[in-house]
Amino acid sequence: MEKVDRFLEKIPIRVTPQRVAVYKALSDSRTHLTAEQIHSKIKKNFPRVSLGTIYSILESFKDKKIIKEIRITFEKSRYETKVSQHHHFLCQTCGKIYDLDIEPCSSLRKKEVQGHLIRDLQGYFYGICKECRIK
Ligand SMILES: [Zn+2]
Ligand SMILES: [Zn+2]
């Protein structure tokens, strides 16, 4: 818990026990969680925290760029603490989401595409994951 405290203190954000718990739930899971999943993880320690509060904490983290929002399934956002640029693969068989590290193509290296300046990007790939392929 202490490490997350210190990390959040470096960001211009008010550090509250709920915020620490939300960030910790996300960073500990090392995966891509929905607000509902975060909510159920921290509910036993913070029974009065509503889902709405979770969403507003996530929004403030997003503003400070310490988490990323992923919309690989369009009906539900997921969040992660890995903020470096990477893409995602969704297995349509088991539903697992994988981080992908792909060599950037030439326009990404230039951070420019057809005259447009690229500031951020997220690639979504869909298919059957390596684990489901061998089943
Ligand atoms: Zn799979
Ligand atoms: Zn990711």
Q: Where are the alpha helices (DSSP H) in 10-126?
A: 17-29, 35-42, 51-63, 106-110
Closest CA to 20 of 33, 5, 30, 10: 5
Cα(114) to centroid of ligand 2, in Å?
A: 27
Ligand nearest 122 Cα, by number? 2
Give, rounded to a whole angstrom, the gap between the first and last alpha carbons of the chain: 39
Cα(100) to centroid of ligand 1, in Å?
A: 14
Half-sphere exposure in the Cβ direction for 123 (13 Å, CA): 13
Q: Can you give the pLDDT of all 135 residues of the chain as single tens digits? A: 568 888 888 888 888 999 999 999 999 988 899 999 999 999 999 999 999 999 999 999 999 999 999 999 888 999 999 988 889 999 999 999 999 988 877 877 888 889 999 888 888 999 999 999 998
Cα(127) to centroid of ligand 1, in Å?
A: 8
Cα(26) to centroid of ligand 1, in Å?
A: 22
Residue 98: predicted pLDDT: 95
Contacts of 45 (CB under 8 A, 6+ apart): 21
Ligand nearest 70 Cα, by number? 2
Cα(72) to centroid of ligand 1, in Å?
A: 15
DSSP 8-state secondary structure symbol assigned to residue 118:
P
Cα(130) to centroid of ligand 1, in Å?
A: 7
Cα(21) to centroid of ligand 1, in Å?
A: 30
Contacts of 97 (CB under 8 A, 6+ apart): 31, 32, 70, 72, 78, 88, 89, 90, 91
Residue 56: predicted pLDDT: 96
Element (H, E) at 90: strand 87-91
CB distance 38 to 22 below 8 Å: yes
Ligand nearest 96 Cα, by number? 1
CA distances from 25 to 42, 79, 117 (A): 7, 11, 34
* Residue type for position 99: D
This prediction has a pTM of: 0.85
